């Protein structure tokens, strides 16, 4: 039997999670102000008068304002001068004023009004003669269309030239939060493995994981994938209900959030005794993950990390490239306030690795019709090279040590 898999119950594993002892310090008001100032400098350097951040993770990143997206425009206008202006429905002004966010003037629009015309007026007043406005890349299409209709002579650009440059490079405070939230999910993974038994369903495992995340982080799972047997061969599984049996490969990919920052950890292991085929592929996956980590060095292009993992798989006869059997997706993605964010460890991405960048490392092996193995941990780039947030799974026989 694989060590650390099975032999316990959901009740036993949930007990004591609230006092597990993991916590994090929120991002300070001073750091958020520094982010706004950096964004202002980047706007000025690129000849952009201001950028509009509707409800979403970039709004939260720069201002600290967490607001649920809807058809009603609420957002922040950050000017190249460093001024911050908020636009929201008039009936939300009181709520926004009480929010713990970067100070700025609040402008309200009434329900019959055009909120985009209000943005245009605020922009014209804050930056007389403004000609270029950047919009958050994650903004809904209807926001972009509304702005185009209201701005008339101004050009609308993608704000990713600013938001990406800031958000890709994590501060020590961000890294501390991210380390904590990933440790939370790794602990949940460890406990989820122990509740497995023949006949348990994927739904039962997901319910346990959600409750465990809730007790550790204060919020449930942000996502959860649980697959057994052949279903593990597909990166995002299959729709059929999952029921565990002896000898199945198990793949659990899940995460939660802490102070807005996301975790995303995958573990693959066998329920029972691994076959020689399962062991062979598991060990190959571990070597590919290790090769990607070793290739990550300051100044190296992102695509080189992907190539390092893929070359290990190709040397074993998989692939080539993105073909299956093999690794059909990129080796890793950036992570922070979004589970997937800039930048990516993928062929064609020549972005050099920089200190503060954070990535998943998950060169999954897909054997359609058989099973799959994905080991996913995350690392960040320090001045001297990559550093794991969570230690990789040590072996096929003892996946949690």
pLDDT tens digits for range 85-134: 999 999 999 999 999 999 999 999 999 999 999 999 999 999 999 999 99
d(CA 398, CA 378): 20
Please name every residue paired with 261 in a beta bridge, in sequence order, or none if there are none.
258
d(CA 42, CA 65): 21
Q: Is the pLDDT of residue 24 over 90?
A: no
What ranges in 46-159 are assigned the alpha helix state H? 57-63, 93-98, 115-126, 141-151
Q: Is the pLDDT of residue 21 over 80?
A: no
pLDDT reported for residue 390: 97
Which whole-number Å values give the CA distances from 400 to 8, 164, 202, 228, 280, in the listed order? 15, 35, 20, 18, 18
Q: Is 375 left (phi over 0), alpha (psi -120 to 50) or beta?
A: beta
H or E element at residue 306: helix 302-315
Q: What is the pLDDT of residues 80-99, one digit of tens each?
A: 999 999 999 999 999 999 99
Question: What angle (nearest 5°) sits at the alpha carbon of residue 216, between those of residues 213 and 222?
Answer: 30
- Domains of the chain in start order, with CATH, are 10-17+169-388 (3.90.230.10), 46-167 (3.40.350.10)
Q: In the predicted model, what is the mean pLDDT of residues 353-378?
A: 98
pTM of the model: 0.96
- The residue count of the chain comes to 401
d(CA 229, CA 213): 25
β-bridge pairing 132-135 and 155-158: parallel
Q: What share of the chain is helix, strand, coil (3-state, %, to 5)?
A: 35, 20, 40
Q: Is the pLDDT of residue 19 over 90?
A: no
Query: Alpha-carbon Rg of the chain, whole angstroms?
Result: 23
For residue 12, give the DSSP letter.
H
Question: What angle (nearest 5°) sits at the alpha carbon of residue 169, between those of residues 163 and 170?
Answer: 110
Nearest to 329 by CA among 279, 376, 297: 376
d(CA 234, CA 164): 30
Those residues with Cβ within 8 angstroms of residue 21's Cβ, 6 or more apart along the chain or in another chain? none
d(CA 118, CA 348): 41
Q: Is the pLDDT of residue 356 over 80?
A: yes
d(CA 67, CA 77): 15
Give the pLDDT band (50/70/90) at residue 17: confident
Q: In the predicted model, what is the mean pLDDT of residues 47-73?
A: 98
Torsion angle in degrees (nearest 10) through CA of 95, 100, 104, 108:
-10
Nearest to 192 by CA among 228, 164, 226, 217: 226
Q: In the predicted model, what is the mean pLDDT of residues 330-339?
A: 98
Q: Is the pLDDT of residue 387 over 80?
A: yes
Q: What is the pLDDT of residues 135-175, one digit of tens each?
A: 999 999 999 999 999 998 899 999 999 999 999 999 999 99
């Amino acid at each position: 039997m694989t060590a650390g898999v099975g032999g316990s119950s959901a009740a036993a594993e949930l007990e004591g999670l609230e006092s597990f002892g993991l916590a994090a310090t929120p991002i300070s008001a001073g750091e958020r102000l520094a982010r706004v100032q950096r964004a202002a400098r980047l706007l000025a350097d690129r000849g952009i008068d201001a950028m509009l951040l509707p409800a979403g993770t970039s709004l939260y990143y720069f201002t600290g304002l967490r607001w649920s997206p809807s058809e009603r425009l609420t957002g922040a206008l950050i000017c190249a001068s460093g001024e911050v202006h908020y636009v929201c429905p008039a009936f939300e002004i009181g709520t926004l004023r009480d929010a713990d966010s970067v100070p700025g003037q609040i402008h309200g629009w009434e329900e019959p009004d055009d909120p985009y015309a209000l943005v245009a007026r605020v922009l014209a007043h804050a930056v007389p003669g403004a000609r270029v406005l950047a919009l958050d890349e994650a903004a809904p299409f209807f926001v972009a269309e509304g702005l185009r209709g209201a701005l008339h002579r101004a050009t609308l650009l993608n704000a990713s030239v600013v938001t990406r440059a800031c958000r890709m490079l994590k501060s020590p405070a961000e890294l501390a939060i991210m380390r904590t939230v990933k440790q939370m999910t790794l602990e949940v993974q460890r406990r989820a493995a122990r509740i497995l038994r023949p006949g348990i369903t994927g739904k039962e495992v997901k319910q346990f994981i959600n409750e465990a995340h809730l007790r550790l982080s204060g919020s449930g799972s942000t996502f959860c994938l649980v697959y057994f047997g052949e279903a593990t061969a597909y990166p995002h599984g299959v729709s059929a209900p999952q029921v565990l049996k002896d000898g199945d490969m198990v793949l659990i990919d899940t995460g939660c959030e802490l102070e807005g920052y996301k975790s995303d950890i995958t573990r693959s292991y066998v329920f029972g005794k691994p076959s020689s085929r399962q062991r062979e592929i598991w060990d190959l996956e571990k070597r590919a993950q290790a090769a990607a980590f070793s290739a990550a060095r300051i100044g190296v292009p992102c695509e080189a990390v992907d190539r390092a993992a893929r070359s290990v798989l190709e040397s074993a006869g998989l692939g080539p490239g993105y073909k299956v059997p093999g690794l059909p997706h990129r080796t890793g993605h950036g992570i922070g306030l979004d589970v997937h964010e800039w930048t990516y460890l993928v062929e064609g991405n020549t972005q050099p690795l920089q200190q503060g960048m954070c990535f998943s490392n998950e060169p999954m092996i897909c054997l359609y019709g058989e099973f799959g193995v994905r080991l996913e941990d995350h690392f960040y780039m320090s001045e001297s090279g990559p550093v794991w947030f969570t230690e990789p799974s040590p072996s096929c026989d003892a996946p949690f040590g």
